[in-house]
Amino acid sequence: MTEFKSTTMKPTHTEKGTSQKSSLFNVEENEVIRNKRSIPWVRLEEGLHTSGCPLCEIVLTSAHKHLDSLLYEYVNDVSVRKKLHASFGFCNHHAWLAKEVERELKSDGQHLATLHESLLKAELRLLQEASGTKRIAAKKKETNPVLQHLLKTFAPSGECLLCASSRQTEEFYASQFVLMYSDNEFRALFEAETILMCRPHFLSVMREAHDRATAEYFLNQQTKKIERLLNQLKLFLEKHDVQHQHEPRGKEWTSWLQVLEHFSCKQGIDRLWDPYSPSNQNK
Ligand SMILES: [Zn+2]
Ligand SMILES: [Zn+2]
């Protein structure tokens, strides 16, 4: 494992002069102090008090809160409608999460019904326009311009609005990890054994790390945590051998679940970061 002596150092700006360096330091330190009194720090702290990947947790919580306020207050909002029309509804995950949130609001479906009414009307208009076209079945699919036009009008022109806001949340909080990493309170929480960034979010943070010390800190932490997880996974598998089967079970018993989360994020996080995901093919 690579040892990085600078992991306890604060961010440095070697390309700047000494006086500039100290003033930049002050700006960053002030920003960290200011940030500790802000909502993003509260969210970051909440994420760091759970287990597994804190960024997955923040994105999940934020999508839940967003849906809650959308259904409670914004079902008639014009910009929400516009986005919902562009994507022809929510993606699969956020649609069924919306159903859960509707239930939590103790609603019988009225919010989601109101939100989707104009969308369903638009869908019917598209179908009626298509039905009114006589030449629709006249030619083969590949050469039929009417059918090609129909498929084009039915195709979404935007992504699910919750996916879009989750993407923004991911980017924003990845930068917050980088901003806050020199803070002692952050480090104590982040370095806890229970915290392990999933692979995609580790890479999101690394993309935001603009200097060597920051990159080394997160790389060093991730390396230590993955080494620990691999040892636990090995132990879990060893304890399946007949001669070890009666040994007491410890933390290693959930290691396979942590490995699953490490590579694929917590349940409910879409593969927004994955260029091979079908939903990202056209972006
Ligand atoms: Zn994650
Ligand atoms: Zn979505």
Provide the residue ranges of all domains of the chain, joining segments of one domain with +: 17-280
Ligand 2 centroid distance, CA of 250 (Å): 37
Round to whole Å and give the CA distance between 187 and 107.
42
Ligand 2 centroid distance, CA of 164 (Å): 7
Give pLDDT, residue 272: 58
Per DSSP, 250 falls in state -
Ligand in closest contact with the CA of 167: 2
Examine the pLDDT at 9 and tell me if it is beyond 50: no
Ligand 2 centroid distance, CA of 67 (Å): 11
Examine the pLDDT at 38 and tell me if it is beyond 60: yes
Give pLDDT, residue 200: 94
92-104 vs 110-131: helix axis angle to the nearest 10? 140
Give pLDDT, residue 140: 60
Model confidence, pTM: 0.80
Number of residues written out for the chain: 283
Q: Which residues pair with 52 in a beta bridge?
A: 195
Ligand 1 centroid distance, CA of 52 (Å): 8
The stretch 234-261 carries a mean pLDDT of 89
For residue 252, which of 264, 265, 240, 267 has the smallest C-alpha distance? 240
Name the token pair of 225: 């945590």
Report helix, strand or coil for 52.
strand
Report helix, strand or coil for 195.
strand
Ligand in closest contact with the CA of 55: 1
Per DSSP, 253 falls in state G
What values do phi and psi take at 52, rounded to 5? Answer: 80, -140
Examine the pLDDT at 4 and tell me if it is beyond 80: no
Token pair 């959308």: residue: 70
Give pLDDT, residue 91: 94
